[in-house]
């Protein structure tokens, strides 16, 4: 076992895990709140600018709560469609 690199490896895995949890929460929220299919909700999330930013750990978005992230996703979708939230 290599202890010298364990901190960076653990942190990276933790970040990936938090990003995955946030993504799963967003998909679940779309399914529950908008009565969307899982496939449709996944498409919305994975093709969003928010998801792209979520993948960039330097933004720190993966540390935000699911409700906040859902609000950002709704704002992005509203601006893309030309409507307000």
pLDDT at 9: 43
pLDDT at 7: 44
pLDDT at 5: 43
pLDDT at 11: 53
pLDDT at 2: 40
DSSP for the chain reads --STTHHHHHHHHHHHHHHHHHHHHHHHHHHHHH---HHHHHHHHHTSHHHHHHH-GGG-GGGS-HHHHHHHHHHHHHHHHT---
| Residues in the chain, pLDDT under 50 | 1-10
């Amino acid at each position: 076992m290599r202890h010298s690199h364990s901190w960076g490896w653990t942190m990276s895995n933790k970040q990936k895990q938090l990003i995955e949890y946030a993504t799963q929460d967003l998909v679940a929220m779309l399914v529950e709140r908008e009565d969307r299919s899982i496939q449709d909700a996944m498409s919305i999330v994975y093709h969003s600018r928010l998801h792209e930013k979520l993948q960039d750990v330097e933004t720190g978005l993966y540390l935000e709560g699911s409700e906040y992230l859902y609000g950002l996703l709704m704002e992005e979708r509203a601006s893309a469609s030309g409507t307000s939230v």
